[in-house]
Structure 1
Amino acid sequence: MHPSPLLERADAVAGAPQDVDATVPAHYGSPLPEQAALVAGLALSALARDVVAVTGPDRRSWLTTLSSQVLTHLAPGDGGVETLLMDAQGHITHALAALDDGQVLWLVTEAGAGPALADFLDSMRFMLRVEATDRPDVQVLGAMGQGLEALEEAARSVNLPDPHAGTALVGTWRDPWPGVVEGGTSYDLGRTRPHPGQDYRAGMVLVPRDAVTQVAEAFLGEEAPDGRRLAGALAWEALRVEAGRPRAAREVDARTIAHELDWLRTAVHLNKGCYPGQETIARTLNLGRPPRRLTILQLDGLGGRAPVPGAVVRLGERAVGTVTSVVRHHECGPMALALLRRGVPSDAALSVDLEELEAGGGPARVDATQEILVAPEGRAQASPAQRPGAELRRR
């Protein structure tokens, strides 16, 4: 987990040392305009991610047996896929962006998780022709909309010192969110209203760490359109939260299952072969309901105060959930993602605990309203209309 070279820029402002995005700039002096530039395709962000390289002729079929997605069809330039690694109980252990360049299967995970991911994959090799290696020499840059193509072009324009290494473009991953990929399904209410992330178009470009500064300079170069700039992690996170896009470092805890985050839409193939956690995926889809549901919270910003991740969400005085991400959006104001109990009514007025106390000594809170991501009914579009065994239960 090496800091981004962009932290060395004079205008880069670092975040808190304990933050999950501490290895990249939090902002460059103007967090809100940086969001607008990302939306317009005029900015790039350094992303706090680790990269693991998997080599060997069995790499795609092997990882397909370990993960929730089919990777056997991956080919250079196809944009890759998203997949999950889970334990036997279906709890998420890694969320991966996966792309293949014809020789290497590149896996992007959260910052600090690369060594553990490589060790786990190495322990699962058995006799197969694969090898997993943590690659701190490769870092991740992100862009949105037409900015992703501009970032790719900038990476291609940078030639590496080694004449056999080619350009600085290692590979590009295109985020499928919020689409429903082949074999996936959705828990949202998209059949009656647009998804909050319908305009979200994001992607990641992998480049050698030593070339990050050159790629950024090429993106911002004199021939680039006016208005191009760098955007920090605060800007990237605000747009992610607006789109309801889950992130492992923020939304996943020790008991999270994919259904709660609507991650079956982009990261799970329901018709593939066996893999760890598949029983939980199938059982919850067909027989049960996810115990929690991800929602966007629109926070009252009049008081100028905002909660922090981990804050308690309340219905009246009763604790009904936990905040996972908090941002300040350039148009919508303060927003958050939260995991709520499934039974919380979708129209319920909620409040969120703040760290400080009111003048009288009582707990300070901020009001919140919900923007639904996962339907409270707990049914996916692929769930059976009649749950198996319902007739026997009635008897």
Structure 2
Amino acid sequence: MTLVSDTHDAHGAVYRDRGGRQVVDHYGKPERVGKAVRNVVGAIEMGYGILTVRGEDRVEFVDNAVSNRVPDEDGQGVYALLLDPQGGIETDMYVYNAAERLLVFLPPERAEAVAEDWASKVFIQDVTIEDVSADLAVFGIHGPKSTEKVASVLGGPGAPEKPLSFVRGSMVDAGVTVIASDAPLGEEGYEVVCAADDAEAVLDTLINRGLNAPPFGYRTWDALATEAGTPLFEYELAGTVPNVLGLRNALDFEKGCYVGQEVVSRVENQGRPSRRLVGLDLDGLADATAAIDGDADPEGYDAVLPASGAAVFDGDEAVGEVTRAAVGPDAGDPIALALVQFDAALDGPTVRVDGEEVAATRVALPFPSVDGSARSARLPTYPDER
């Protein structure tokens, strides 16, 4: 269950399950608050699973397991992947060097399995792994005014500047850690970490003190991340080879061996993957989505938009499938992300929705309507674009 249900309930939260954890889906006005995040700032409780890794060999141990180089300096973090032997993504994660421990943020459904797997691989190393998901709360602050928001309530140092670096300070009477995000929503952003006992007070501070930051849920998060061109674990990453998603920020091609590295390196050396992630404007659904008041009936879009797995056609040929679709909060238009054959022309693509072919247009990522305050570090990058 969420750590701050009283605060969420007071704002009219509707919940959903995310990997066995209850998170806020929306507060009844996901479109309106999405525009607020794009224009000003908003706050969300993040549904992470959280591990700590302690011991003298902690950095080396995790570095040997993941696709990116784990920092050995306190106050720094990295985005990384855990792969299977075939190169498929088992999970993504953020790894932060927090002095005597590493903090690992990952999808909640993967926390227990990763903790057990890593513990089974500890032999003579000085390493201990613990699931602390119930002990810490993490809140995201995103939007072009997020720096101003954090500055208005953070006691101690100024907000960190380098993506995935962090500082320690206080909010009200609570100790907090403030992390500069890597802009998954295409906006400046931060994550605020605190003890679970302080979660209610910290969230109230983030929402109501200094510059107000209206709360938003994962329905808005998913839509904003779609606009920003950010692949997410539950939709695009799970089981996919990272080259297919252009996730170069998660890969260090110079570091030592890790599970799945041979596949990643082979695809890199071949020059291109088999598929790529693209953006689609769902032109043929514009009238249908415009007829729905997404604030009054946010679930109404679910019956109109293509489901995950909907076929994408280039002429008469099926060339891929939709991974997720949304009505973009910025422009209010129906959009989708899709995994398609790498060399598909997509001159006049269509998407199958309820047995019918709906017209679409391929667009560059991030979606052209988004003129955000930052670019997502996960924005796909491919060999023919570098």
TM range (shorter): 0.7 to 0.9
> Which one of the candidate residues 140, 145, 159 is aligned to 2:138?
140
Q: How does 1:221-260 map to 2 (within 5 A)?
A: 221=208, 223-225=209-211, 227-254=212-239, 256-260=240-244
Note if 1:280 corresponds to 2:263.
Answer: yes
Distance in 2, Cα, partners of 1:252 & 1:64: 20
> Which one of the candidate residues 106, 111, 121 is aligned to 1:109?
106
Partner AA of 2:223 in structure 1: A
* C-alpha distance after superposition, 1:305-341 (max 9, x if no partner): 3112222222234322121122211223211111111
Offset of residue 128 of structure 1: 0.9
Match of 1:31?
A: 30
2:179 partner SS: strand
Match of 1:193?
A: none
Distance in 1, Cα, partners of 2:102 & 2:82: 15
RMSD: 2.7
* C-alpha distance after superposition, 1:242-283 (max 9, x if no partner): 1111111110243x111111111x111111111111111211
Q: In 2, are the aligned partners of 1:260 and 1:292 still within 8 Å (CA)?
A: yes
Q: In 2, are the aligned partners of 1:142 and 1:203 still within 8 Å (CA)?
A: yes
Distance in 1, Cα, partners of 2:217 & 2:54: 32
Q: Which runs of 4+ in 1 moved over 3 A?
A: 19-22, 148-155, 372-381
2:250 partner SS: coil
Offset of residue 380 of structure 1: 6.5
Describe the shift of the 1:134–1:306 C-alpha distance in structure 2 as closer, same or farther (beyond 3 A).
same
Q: How does 1:203-214 map to 2 (within 5 A)?
A: 203-214=190-201
> Which one of the candidate residues 358, 368, 374 is aligned to 1:366?
358
Distance in 2, Cα, partners of 1:288 & 1:58: 36
Match of 1:343?
A: 343
1:284 partner SS: helix
Match of 2:205?
A: 218
Identity %: 25
Q: In structure 2, list runs of 5 or more residues that go unmatched.
A: 155-168, 290-303, 366-378
Q: In 2, are the aligned partners of 1:21 and 1:48 still within 8 Å (CA)?
A: no
Distance in 1, Cα, partners of 2:140 & 2:220: 11
Greater fraction of residues in helix: 2
Note if 1:157 corresponds to 2:171.
Answer: yes
Match of 2:13?
A: 13
Distance in 2, Cα, partners of 1:147 & 1:21: 30
TM-score normalised by the chain length of structure 1: 0.77
TM-score normalised by the chain length of structure 2: 0.79
Q: In 2, are the aligned partners of 1:47 and 1:140 still within 8 Å (CA)?
A: yes
2:109 partner SS: coil
Distance in 1, Cα, partners of 2:312 & 2:15: 25
Q: In 2, are the aligned partners of 1:171 and 1:207 still within 8 Å (CA)?
A: no
Offset of residue 170 of structure 1: 4.4
Offset of residue 150 of structure 1: 3.4
Q: In 2, are the aligned partners of 1:6 and 1:25 still within 8 Å (CA)?
A: no
Distance in 1, Cα, partners of 2:201 & 2:252: 38
Q: How does 1:46-57 map to 2 (within 5 A)?
A: 46-57=45-56
Q: In structure 1, list runs of 5 or more residues that go unmatched.
A: 161-166, 178-196, 357-362, 382-395
Distance in 2, Cα, partners of 1:292 & 1:240: 20
Aligned length: 338
Match of 1:294?
A: 277
